[in-house]
Structure formats: C-alpha cells, structure tokens
Structure 1
Amino acid sequence: MPARYSFGGDEHLFIECSDEMSLEAFFKSLSMATAVRESQIKGVTEICPANASFQVKFNPDIIKPDDMMKEVRAIEVDAEKAEPVLKTRIVEIPVFYNDPWTHETLMRFRERHQEPEGTDLDYAARINGYDAVGSFIEAHHGSPWFVSMVGFVAGLPFMYQMVERERQIEVPKYLRPRTDTPRLTVGHGGCFGCIYSVRGAGGYQMFGITPMPIFDSSQTTSYLRDFMVFFRPGDIVKFKPIDRAAYDQAVEDVDRGRFSPPIREVTFDLREFQKDIDGYNTKLEGTLYAH
C-alpha cells in the first residue's frame, strides 16, 4: 500500500508505511529511511525510524515542506523495488522466566491488571489459548524475534515475533501503567515484546528477566564499551530459558567482565523466510551454535 504522509509543524515529515505492523512494512520503512539518509537531501537534520514508519526532521529555511515531501515520495517509488534482504545479526538472550523480582512487582500492582487474581503469565497463557504457563513460555522462546525499533527509553528494543500472524503472541498492556518495572524485565504489550533497559514505569505484561544489560551509559560493561546501546533495528533475538543458578552465574560474569552474548552475523531474506517460516527460523538459530 502507498505510504501515508503528514506534517508535524514546519519541521517534521511523518511517513507511515502501514497502519499495522508487519515485516513487509518494516522493510519498506527501513529502506526508505536509509535511502533518505543516503540521498543527503539538503536541509534534512535528523531521521527517526520506528516499527513501520519514520520521521524526517528538516530545516524549512533550506527546503520547503512541500519540496521535502516530493523528495521522499520519489524515494518511496524506488524503495518499492528494493530487495527485501538485510545483513544483520542474531543474538541469544538468556531469560529467567517467572523470576521472583518481576513476580513481586506484578503482585504489587494487581489492582491495575485485567485479572488481579492471577499473574501476568497466567493471563497471557490463557488469552493466547495455552493450557499451561509452561506451554506459553515454550512458545515465547521457541521462535526468534525481530527488533523493529529501538527507543522510547534509551536502548529499549521493540521485538516482533517471527511466526505466522495467527501464532503470534498478543497480550494487552495493563489497564493502568505501573509506577515500577525492574530493569531488564522481558515484557509484552500488544504484538510487541520488549526488554526494559532501565528501571521505571511501564504497562507491558512481565514474563521474566534477563541478566544481560542492554544499555550502559557508563560503557563499563565489556560488550558495551564501543556503544552504550546494545540493540539496533534488524537484530534477530533468540531467547534462551535459564534457571536461578544460571541467572546468578550470568550476573556474576557480567560484573566481572566475562559475559559475552552469543552473536552471529547473518543475512535475512524476507522472501525466503515467507516460503518456509519454521524452516528458515531453524536455519537462522543453527548459525548461533555453528563452529
């Protein structure tokens, strides 16, 4: 479908590639945002990509808003022809599901939840048709996730599950947001998974916690010394369930500079993925453990 264009005041152009999230919409928005950056249009000062859209900030004293729109519309035509192939990486993220810290937090805020008598995992399992929390957890970590956007707060990834739409986990956010969420909580809201990069308010359902920092403004974490934000759009995430002992060991390894997340460079081809989703995912995951 054609992109939808709208102005935000005199300095912003918002381009919405779709009104619903899909990998096709993500690829189109990423392709367009990249092309705008590479075109070096005079007057463009910033480009902000999102899940299925992006925003361009420009100086109206250098380029008029209507001219800015013409430039981007021309780029859209070329973006439609672009190959849906992305050089990216797959990373394994350990998760301690049903951990005591997110459990304590969710119990503090039960009056804000759709089903105060249960837990977030109970609720998510039930409304997604799983007969047990364990089966739901298996579905959560059983397929990879695509990072479609990083932001909202520093370093927070929005993740889209790489399965057929009818199999995707969907859970509404809390009825009222919490005032507290543990740092590194693995959460879910709507069709998007996330990892809370810092402690703070939030409304996503809480499923577990990872020992792996994904944002470090001090850049003292061993694998974040070059850049304080771990994730970037296009990353593919494979969650690995761990127990309390493995969680504690990973925390210690992070503190001592010994933790190194498994990462492999991969090429993701949307067309090949769509031909055989489960088979393609298995091949992707296999690259993580290939020697």
Structure 2
Amino acid sequence: MTIRYTFGGDEFIFVEISEDMSLDAFFKGTAITRELQRRKVAGVTEICPANASYQVRYNPDIIAPDVLLALLQTIEAEVGAADLNIATRIVEVPVLYNDPWTHETLMRFRERHQDPDSTDLQYAARINGYGDVDAFIAAHAGSPWFVSMVGFVAGLPFMFQMVERKRHLQVPKYLRPRTDTPKLTVGHGGCFGCIYSVRGAGGYQMFGVTPAPIFDPAQRLDYLRDFMVFFRPGDIVKFKPIDRDTYDKALAEVEAGTFSLRVRPVNFSLDAFMRDPDAYNRSLVEVLDAN
C-alpha cells in the first residue's frame, strides 16, 4: 500500500494509509502511532489514530515539518519491514441484544429508517443473508472486534470485526440521524460497530445495550480508575450475549461500584491472524476463558 502524507496548516500532518478500511491498514497505522508515542518526540503534542489513517499535531517551533515527516517515513519503513505485532488487551463486553430501550427508541424513529416495517436487527439480519435475528446475533458476537478509533463523543469506540472481508457485517446508517440513542447502545453503521458511551443523537443501527460503563468522569469502577475513557485503539472486544436477569444484576453491581469487565493482556500478530483468522480468534478468546 502507498501511504499519503499531507500537511494541514503549520501544526498537523495527516497520514492516509489506505482509501479502504482493512485490518492490515488499521494495524499498520496502529504500529506506527504506537512507535511514535514510544519515542516521545520533542514537539509532538498529539497523536490521533483512526480507522485507516492517523494525524499528528506538532509544535513547529520545536520540530520542523520536514524533520517530522522524515521521522514518520522512517517509522513506516521500519514497521513495514517486520511482522506487525502489538501488545494489547482483549475485553469481554456483555450485551443484552434486542433490549426494550433501543426497541422503544427505534420504533420512535421508523420514518428515518430504510425499512420502517422491521426492527434494526430484523433489517440487519435480512440484508446480510441470515435467516433470523438469532443467527445474526450469533454472527455479531461470534468473532472479536478491533477498536480502530475512539471519538465522535467522549469514549465512543469504533470497531472493525476480525473476519475475512466477505464475512463482514454491512448495515447502512439510518436515512436521517436520530435525535436520541440510549446510553451504552451497541450500534452498527457500514462495516463498523460502536458503543454509544452517552445518550444522544446517532445514526447507527441499534442492536442492544451493554450494562458496562465505558466513559465515567467520576471513575467509580476499577477498570476506569486509570482514565475516565476505557477504550483505546488496538483493544480487542469480544461481545457476550446475556439475558435480562444478568443485565439487571450487572446494573446493580454498577450502582454498588463493584462491577468489573473481564480484561486480559494479549500479543496480537497480524501475520498469524491472516494465516488462519478463525483459529487465531479462538486462541484469543481462550485467553479470556483461561483466567
């Protein structure tokens, strides 16, 4: 792939790794930005990774634009010449699919939807060739997802499913955005999944809700003690379908401050994944089950 570098004013360099989203484009961007962060370059003030690109903000009084550009190109060559590996985390996220709150919301906004006569899950199942909603949920929760970027609102993760391109779930966004989306909705738009960290406007299809807070300025739960935003690019997410009783129990634990997510460290190899995605995904999930 040919990487394109563009200067934005006198404080930014925007780097487009690929015009199309892919795991190798995302993974290469992640490797480059993590290496840049590790080097603690004087004058680099912000590093913003995205789906298939990244942006660097810098102080031109400390580091000259051409010097930073040369450094980024050097890092690109170095990470491109080796097996792309990152040390990251796998997180199990419980999800109550087909919940009453997103159902009530989606019914209020059917005039903005491509198929007003079906629910978001029914529509997603149909256009992806699944016989029913349960089969679609099994596909959605069956393979891990990479967190490719965090943004839009504070703490919202965009996620890309770790399967071959022909198996990617594809669901268009609403024809017009909603003015309401329940907090912690698990959504999907295009080829990307997300979790709405706060209640607000949105246009992604709504599949369910998680009881797990992922953004909390009060930092009450153990997995949010280090930072109020939980997710970071490179995290791996495994959704776990739960029933209403389990969801209600988790909410009570959130209120009591005792709820926790299952989080395990993993080393991810793109080469090993590409050789056999399904087997590699099973090995990742086994890390969760082993502890």
Residues 93 and 210 in structure 1, CA contact (< 8 A), matched pair in contact too:
yes
Structure 2 residue aligned with 1:267 = 267
Structure 2 residue aligned with 1:65 = 65
Residues 188 and 205 in structure 2, CA contact (< 8 A), matched pair in contact too:
yes
Residues 272 and 280 in structure 1, CA contact (< 8 A), matched pair in contact too:
yes
Q: Whole-Å Cα distance in 1 between the matches of residues 63 and 290 of structure 2? A: 50
AA in 1 matched with 2:156: L
**Matched residue of 2:20: which SS?**
coil
**Matched residue of 2:281: which SS?**
helix
Q: Whole-Å Cα distance in 1 between the matches of residues 104 and 165 of structure 2? A: 32
**Matched residue of 2:202: which SS?**
coil
Q: Whole-Å Cα distance in 2 between the matches of residues 92 and 71 of structure 1? A: 37
Correspondence 1:194 to 2:178: no
**Matched residue of 2:272: which SS?**
helix
**Matched residue of 1:230: which SS?**
coil
- Mind listing any 5+ residue stretches in structure 2 that lack a counterpart? none
Deviations, residues 155-200 of structure 1 (Å, cap 9, x unaligned): 1111111111101101111111111100000000111111000111
**Matched residue of 1:254: which SS?**
helix
Q: Whole-Å Cα distance in 1 between the matches of residues 268 and 258 of structure 2? A: 29
- Mind listing any 5+ residue stretches in structure 1 that lack a counterpart? none
Residues 31 and 82 in structure 1, CA contact (< 8 A), matched pair in contact too:
no
Q: Whole-Å Cα distance in 1 between the matches of residues 139 and 247 of structure 2? A: 21
Deviation at 1:253, TM superposition (A): 1.1
Residues 89 and 263 in structure 2, CA contact (< 8 A), matched pair in contact too:
yes
Residues 31 and 85 in structure 2, CA contact (< 8 A), matched pair in contact too:
no
TM-score with structure 2 length normalisation? 0.95
- Identity fraction in percent: 66
Q: Whole-Å Cα distance in 1 between the matches of residues 217 and 172 of structure 2? A: 31
The CA RMSD measured in Å over matched residues stands at 1.4
Change (3 A) 1:90 1:42: closer
> Structure 2 matches for 1:1-291, cutoff 5 A?
1-291=1-291
AA in 1 matched with 2:238: K
TM-score with structure 1 length normalisation? 0.95
Change (3 A) 1:267 1:229: same
AA in 1 matched with 2:243: D
Deviation at 1:40, TM superposition (A): 4.0
Residues 143 and 162 in structure 1, CA contact (< 8 A), matched pair in contact too:
yes
Q: Whole-Å Cα distance in 2 between the matches of residues 43 and 237 of structure 1? A: 33
AA in 1 matched with 2:164: E
Change (3 A) 1:39 1:288: closer
Q: Whole-Å Cα distance in 1 between the matches of residues 118 and 288 of structure 2? A: 36
